[in-house]
């Protein structure tokens, strides 16, 4: 399967990992949009939120648990952060392996900005 994030999980594409357990991996975004910009992903390949089913929703809970821990470890738990999933065309999703953007480290701007 030609999926960038599956390749990051297996290690054939390098990444700066900040968290890993049996089901979830997190690493620095290659094009950070904030001082802290981490991608939190399941090891299971699920293309989009529309494709999540059954036990996948427990996995999504694990992603939130990991994000909470990473936010603490990177020092943004108290200052605040966003945890964002893009799903499909209108969201601007470009990598079709579910991921959550953990963003923080500064006062973040409008939730919905101008389109590029
Ligand atoms: P999306 O727009 O799909 O929600 O976000 C995909 C994110 O993946 C983007 O923020 C992009 O910078 C990041 N990204 C794409 N390719 C790579 C890569 O090879 N390594 C890392 N670390 N991040 C990537
Ligand atoms: Zn994948």
* Mean pLDDT estimate for the chain: 97
Per-residue pLDDT of the chain (116 residues; tens, 9 = 90+): 799 999 999 999 999 999 999 999 999 999 999 999 999 999 999 999 999 999 999 999 999 999 999 999 999 999 999 999 999 999 999 999 999 999 999 999 999 988 76
Q: Exposed (0-12), middle (13-18) or buried (19+): which is 16, by Cβ within 10 Å?
A: exposed
- The model's pTM: 0.97
Give the residue whose CA is nearest to atom 24 of ligand 1. 30
Q: Which ligand is nearest to the CA of 85?
A: 1
**Residues carrying an active site annotation:** 99
CA distance 99 to 109: 21
- Which residues have CB under 6 Å of ligand 1? 4, 13, 15, 27-31, 39, 86, 92-95
- What pLDDT score was predicted for residue 116? 61
Does residue 39 sit in helix, strand or coil? Answer: strand
Looking at ligand 1, which atom is closest to the CA of residue 4? Answer: 19
Looking at ligand 1, which atom is closest to the CA of residue 85? Answer: 4
Tell me how crowded residue 106 is: count the other CB atoms within 10 A of its CB: 12
Q: How far is CA 3 from the centre of its chain?
A: 15
């Amino acid at each position: 399967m030609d999926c960038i994030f599956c390749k990051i999980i297996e290690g054939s594409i390098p990444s700066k990992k900040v968290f890993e357990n049996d089901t979830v991996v997190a690493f620095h975004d290659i094009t950070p949009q904030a001082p802290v910009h981490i991608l939190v992903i399941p090891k299971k390949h699920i293309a989009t939120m529309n494709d999540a089913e059954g036990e996948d929703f427990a996995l999504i809970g694990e992603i939130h648990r990991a994000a909470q821990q990473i936010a603490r470890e990177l020092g943004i738990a108290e200052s605040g952060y966003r945890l964002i999933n893009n799903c499909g065309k209108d969201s601007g999703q470009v990598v079709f392996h579910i991921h959550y953007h953990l963003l923080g480290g500064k006062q973040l701007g409008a939730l919905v900005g101008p389109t590029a």
